[in-house]
Structure 1
Amino acid sequence: MASRLTVSVGQASDKGVKAVNQDFFGTRIPEDHLLESKGIAIALADGISSSDVSQIASAAAVRGFLDDYYCTSEAWSVKKSALQVLLASNSWLYAQSRQSQYRSDMNRGYVCTFSGLIVKSATAHLFHAGDSRIYRIQGNTLEQLTTDHRYYISEDKSYLTRAMGMGQQLDLDYQSFALNSGDTFIFATDGIYEFVSHSFVTDTVKALSEDLNAAAQQILTTALDNGSDDNLTIQIVRIDQLPAASNEDIYQQLTELPFPPELNPRDEFDGYRIERKIHSSPRSHVYVASDNETGQKVILKTPSGELRENAAYLERFLMEEWIARRIDSAHVLKPVKNNRRPNFLYVVTEFIEGITLDQWMRDNPEPSLQAVREIIEQVARGLRAFHRLEMLHQDLKPDNIMIDSTGTVKIIDFGSTRVAGIMEIDTPIERLELLGTAQYAAPEYFLGHSGSVPSDVFSLAVITYQMLSGRLPYGLDIARTHTAKAQNRLRYTPIHHLDEETPVPRWVDETLRKALELEPHKRYQDADEFVFDLSHPNKTFLSQKKPPLIERNPVQFWQGISLVLAIAVILLLYRDLTS
């Protein structure tokens, strides 16, 4: 039997003399094929004493790293996968500080150090920012592998120069190196390494090699006895066995996963049986398939072979899988865990028995306001899951929304999603190949601007307007406007103008008007605000007077003006003739 990667781990942590332990640590050792394809992850984060919320940052950084790393595509390298996750976590932490009372002083916000190690096959990959440390035991000495990102003003005064959440951009140290069986790594915060000697650490680990938890606890206790004035955390990780690299493993490391062959009904593919193709485009192919082991029905999405040389397209395709795995919402499509190591590039997600919102709208051309609210509220919950993780959907439209047999609404496509801190996809416009798709995009995209949460709110409001009226708020014109001047000529068409008999209250119309403002800062700033006002009369809208005729019916207004002018001309001519 081929050898497997195995490690021994010892850990200890204590708040010490502090009131709260702001350190956080963790190790994840997968038991399935991910052990081979992704490896073992170890992480340590240290909060900063100037912050009262730094322990939240430490926990988020470590948990995010250990969870999200295993959600990334198995076709990605270790470096790429880990960096994507850490950049996204950094942006989330930075955003929390910017949105809190600590925005004027980031040293009091959601900031922490981070030191992580991925052990895959016979290679270690190290990621680091801050002054927590990773050492490697070399004989009887400790070799410090990380650099302290701390600037000393004086012997007693210093400050961190790099940390998670400190800035919008994250500057991480990265290095990789070969491993040997028996290599031992020490992760430690300053509450440990400043209060015990290197020789004591190596002697303790050697003496208690059969119980690394006991070794970690003894080192921590000694640091505390020696006057440690900070939180104390230590992890000891020993490489017990390295996997034997087969020819297949070496080949996999040197090449990317191949594109799938063309698939047809009844084909056997990577442990799945293809049932039918449900969508095909120049960008991807989507099939209904069943898992041969479990019988579970799934959706299998494969990339288009025509784009195998398009690196940007492949990035987006693989990002979809990671995004789906990060989000946990009943209103967002869920990925299906594959317990087998994939041999091709593809994505597997849950099968939804239902119809798209586009089909629902055709089946229900005159829905009740309550039916529309129930659907839009569920879509908004799905959007909230994106926004909470600092992600923008950017391509919300009826074709990307499913309604299952129980009435649950789910967002099903993430091909244009932008993750804060990762600029793989700046704008969805390049993907909007059909004019009909572009009608749901926020106007700022057509000016070349980046999107924001109000951009997704705009798309949600377009769908709401279309469900209630059967039309688009700006017709087909918005996709043709590529300058601010052209957009300024656009006019929102109130639903009441389309049909005076409509049962939609005027305050709902005003809610839509606000959500569909052409300038992002004038819109609702999150989907929850919009959905609330869609169901609860906003006092501001109730107190508004009836809009002037030029806003309610511009054509009728100018027809009236023309009639008045015509009458005036006739009167002037008559006066001239009779004078």
Structure 2
Amino acid sequence: MGAALRLALGQHSEAGSKPLNQDFHGAALPTDAQRRSRGIALAIADGISSSPVSQVASAAAVRGFLEDYYGTSEAWTVRRAAQCVLAATNGWLHAQTQRGDGRFDKDRGHVCTFSALVFKGREVHLLHVGDTRAYRVHPTALEQLSHDHRVRLDGGQTYLGRALGLGPHLEIDHACWPTEVGETYLLATDGAYEHLDPLLVINTLARHGNDLQAAAQALVAAALARGSQDNATVMLARVESLPDQLSPPVRRERLRLPPRLAPRMEFEGYRVIRELYASARSQVVLAVDAQDREWALKLPSTDMGSDPKALDRFATEEWVARRVDSPHVIKAAPAEKRREHLFTAMEFITGQTLAQWMTDHPKPGLDEVRQLVDQIARGLQALHRKEMLHQDLRPENLMIDRQGTVILIDLASAHVAGLNEGLGDARATDIAGSLQYTAPEYFTGDGGTPVSELFSLAVLAYQMLTGELPYGLQVPQVRGPRDLHKLQYVPLRTRRPDLPEWLDRVLRKALHPQPARRQQALSEFAHDLYAPGPEFMSRDRTPLQQRHPLLFWRVLTLGFGLSTLVLLGLRVTGH
């Protein structure tokens, strides 16, 4: 493994000439696992001086952020996790304001400004609201990274335009950029930065060297000596080392590759019943635990030992399943003991795949398909709420159990935003699933989003109804944005004339080559299948060439043929 993320920190705060220090600051001391998944966070807050309770607000903001941020889902990005925590803090502060004097005078409420830096992987994130400031220290200058949310009046007076606790809704600035070893960052309240200049900061850091604590104390003392009449707080952070790569969520280097299993073998607390599937890369067996519960064990083959990325994806599948709670997503077995081998243990589902269901139902009714689509959408939504994409939605990866519940399986291709950020581009750009069900934006290099999975779901809906693919095998041939215009959608009613016209319009929209032209949520697509709006019920004015390309060319060819016959007839008559 490469180097870990390490920071050197220094922080200091003084009330100055005021009787009460309304600033608050702090830095987290995360465990190794937390540092890998959530990073290192530091935060600073400044309570408004007009309020007698603003010190409560600033303390609650910093403490709440540093504690609750590490309790958010490891699958979430820094931005989503931080904004959820700060939105909850803002709601609590505003509620306290509404119960006290601040209800009638916001200057006496639970209000504070806030800035936080979160270092994760090889990147740093800024979360900011108000007029505390974040700087990056350069050899000869200070680069202000935050924007002051102050509104200036004509008379030169200013007031806070945004702050925690100021209103029921909160808008937080977020920025992210790559960082480097040796970079130094400065967080400060206005009582400090208004009396510090770049030369003083740079010389102070140079004088104290690696002792950032002494440097922070010296900068606060300098601000007060220069006439600051406010509380003064300074935080310093220097990047000492960065990871070469992100660690997988499961430390698989501690696990051995398993042997090939046979019936009646005992393995890691399970007894093997029979083999379910085997290939050159993996083996799946049915096994029971000590309580006679049935589980499907999936084991990588020894051939995968030379493919670290494949092993990382393999190890991530069960990790993903443990973090999603939905009846429509496969569940992982309880982690009851420490493992010695690398394998996954997932629930054993008795039923059939959607592929088999389509074979058994070659011409299903619309209501049957709508019910299946609705369940698949619910499973995908459960993943999306955790900032995950399934990325391999196909008939073979959907099980229908004996009660008729549709369950998403095979999470090995899932993209987890929170696990992929930290080393640059965290988008889902890799084509991980079956090509014929993959949205066109993957092939143009734009990457996937939840709207891409809506496309894949619409492909499944179309295939369930017709037994065919809406674009045939055209989509995998896309290589750039220009190729999107060449895609020819085959109208649903050319294959199922018994289905309503509005259904074709709903599917055509969901299958549009451009993501922005589709429904923008799975719930919207599912709703359109049950209750189509006016845009789908009005008479179709789409050109015949787009609605029925085959019919268009047949009519055109017939027209040319008739015209030729007429011209020949006129020529013969003329002679």
Structure 2 match to 1:167: 175
Aligned length: 426
Match of 1:257 in 2: 255
1:12-33 Cα shifts (integer Å, max 9, x gaps):
xxxxx999x999999999xxxx
Alignment of 1:393-412 (within 5 A): 393-412=390-409
Change (3 A) 1:371 1:428: farther
> Residue 262 of structure 1: SS of its match in structure 2?
coil
Please state whether the residue corresponding to 1:545 is helix, strand or coil: coil
Partner-residue secondary structure (3-state), 1:328: coil
Aligned to 1:556: 551
Give the counterpart letter for 1:521 in structure 2. A
Amino acid corresponding to residue 509 of structure 2 in structure 1: K
Judging changes above 3 Å, is the alpha-carbon distance between structure 1 residues 280 and 229 closer, same or farther for their aligned structure 2 residues? farther
Q: Equivalent residue of 2:378, what SS?
A: helix
- Corresponding position: 1:65 with 2:70: yes
More off after superposition, 303-312 vs 323-332: 323-332
Cα distance, 1:256 vs. partner?
3.1
478 and 160 in structure 1: CA distance in 2 versus 1, 3 angstrom threshold: closer
Query: Which of 440, 444, 447 pairs up with 1:443?
Result: 440
The letter of the residue matching 1:526 is: A
Report the CA distance between 1:368 and its aligned residue: 2.0
Report what 2:502 is aligned to.
507
Matched, 1:287 2:282: no
SS in 1 for 2:512: coil
**Residue 285 (structure 2) pairs with residue 269 (structure 1):** no
Given that residues 43 and 114 in structure 1 are in contact (C-alpha distance below 8 angstroms), is that contact kept between their aligned partners in structure 2?
yes
Which of 316, 319, 333 is 1:319 aligned to?
316
Is the Cα–Cα contact under 8 Å of residues 115 and 126 in structure 2 kept in the other structure?
no
**Map 1:12-23 → 2, pairs under 5 A:** none
Q: What's 1:180 paired with?
A: none
Q: Which amino acid aligns with 1:89?
A: T
Q: For residue 331 of structure 1, what is the aligned residue in structure 2?
A: 328
1:322–1:286 Cα change, 3 Å: same
Cα distance, 1:481 vs. partner?
3.5
Task: Name the counterpart of 1:414.
Answer: 411
What SS does structure 1 have at the residue aligned with 2:276?
strand
Deviation at 1:550, TM superposition (A): 2.4
Report the counterpart of residue 525 of structure 1 in structure 2.
520
CA 1:50–1:420: 2 relative to 1, 3 Å:
farther
Q: Following the alignment from structure 1 to structure 2, what is the Cα–Cα distance between the partners of residues 296 and 230?
A: 61
* Secondary structure of the structure 2 residue equivalent to 1:167: strand
The alpha-carbon deviation at position 466 of structure 1 amounts to 0.8
> Does 2:349 correspond to 1:344?
no
Match of 1:380 among 377, 381, 388: 377
What is the TM-score when the length of structure 1 is the normalising length? 0.61
Q: Distance in 2 between matches of 1:89 and 1:165?
A: 15
Q: Is 1:577 aligned to residue 575 of structure 2?
A: no
Q: CA deviation at 1:166?
A: 3.3
Kindly provide the amino acid, as one letter, of the partner of residue 77 in structure 2.
S
From 356, 361, 367, give the equivalent of 1:359: 356
Residue pairs, 1:77-96, within 5 angstroms? 88-93=76-81
Mapped to 2, the partners of 1:272 and 1:261 lie a distance apart of 14
CA shift digits 1:308-346 (9 cap, x unpaired): 021111121122222222222222112222211100111
Give structure 1 stretches of 5+ with no counterpart.
1-16, 70-84, 103-107, 117-126, 132-147, 175-188, 195-227, 232-252
- Are the structure 2 counterparts of residues 114 and 265 from structure 1 closer, same or farther at C-alpha, using a change threshold of 3 Å? same
Partner of 1:477: 474
User: Residue 466 of structure 1 aligns to a residue in which SS?
Assistant: helix
Structure 1 residues 129 and 478, CA gap change in structure 2 (3 angstroms): closer
CA gap 1:481/1:68 in 2 versus in 1, 3 angstroms: closer
Q: Deviations over 1:338-358 (max 9, x none)?
A: 211100111112222222211
Offset at residue 389 of structure 1 (A): 2.2
**What is the alpha-carbon distance in structure 2 between the residues aligned to residue 548 and residue 468 of structure 1?**
24
In the TM superposition, what whole-angstrom CA distance separates every residue of 1:498-538 from its partner, at most 9, and x where no partner exists?
A: 132x2x32222111000101112211222111111111111
- Cα 1:455–1:57 change in 2 (3 A) is farther
Q: Kindly indicate whether the alpha-carbon contact (under 8 Å) linking 2:69 and 2:82 is maintained by their aligned counterparts in 1.
A: no
Please say which of residues 55-64 and 523-532 is displaced more in the overlay: 55-64
Letter in 2 for 1:312: K
SS at match of 1:439: helix
**1:494 maps to 2:491:** yes
Contact residue 47 and residue 58 of structure 1 kept, 8 A:
no
Equivalent residues of 1:93, 1:165 under 8 A apart = no
CA distance in 2, matches of 1:335, 1:467: 28
> 1:61 and 1:277 mapped to 2: Cα distance?
48
Cα deviation, residue 493, structure 1: 1.3
Amino acid at match of 1:512: L
Asked if structure 1 preserves the Cα contact closer than 8 Å seen for 2:379 and 2:408, the reply is yes
What is the rounded CA distance, in whole Å, between the counterparts of 1:53 and 1:515 in structure 2? Answer: 47
**How high is the TM-score relative to the length of structure 2?**
0.62
Match for 2:174: what amino acid?
M
Aligned 8 A contact 1:507 1:538 in 2 = no
CA 1:566–1:160 in structure 2 vs 1: closer, same or farther (change >3 Å)?
closer
Judged with a 3 Å threshold, the aligned counterparts in structure 2 of structure 1 residues 167 and 360 are, in CA distance, closer, same or farther, namely same
Distance 1:264 1:109, change over 3 A: farther
**1:516 correspondence with 2:511:** yes
| Gap change, CA 1:158 and 1:565, over 3 Å in 2 | closer
Q: Secondary structure at the match of 2:174?
A: coil
Residue 306 of structure 1: CA displacement?
Answer: 0.4
Instruction: Return closer, same or farther for 1:540/1:114 CA change in 2, 3 Å cut-off.
Output: same
Q: Deviations over 1:470-499 (max 9, x none)?
A: 211112332233344444222111211113
How far apart are the structure 2 equivalents of 1:302 and 1:53?
A: 51
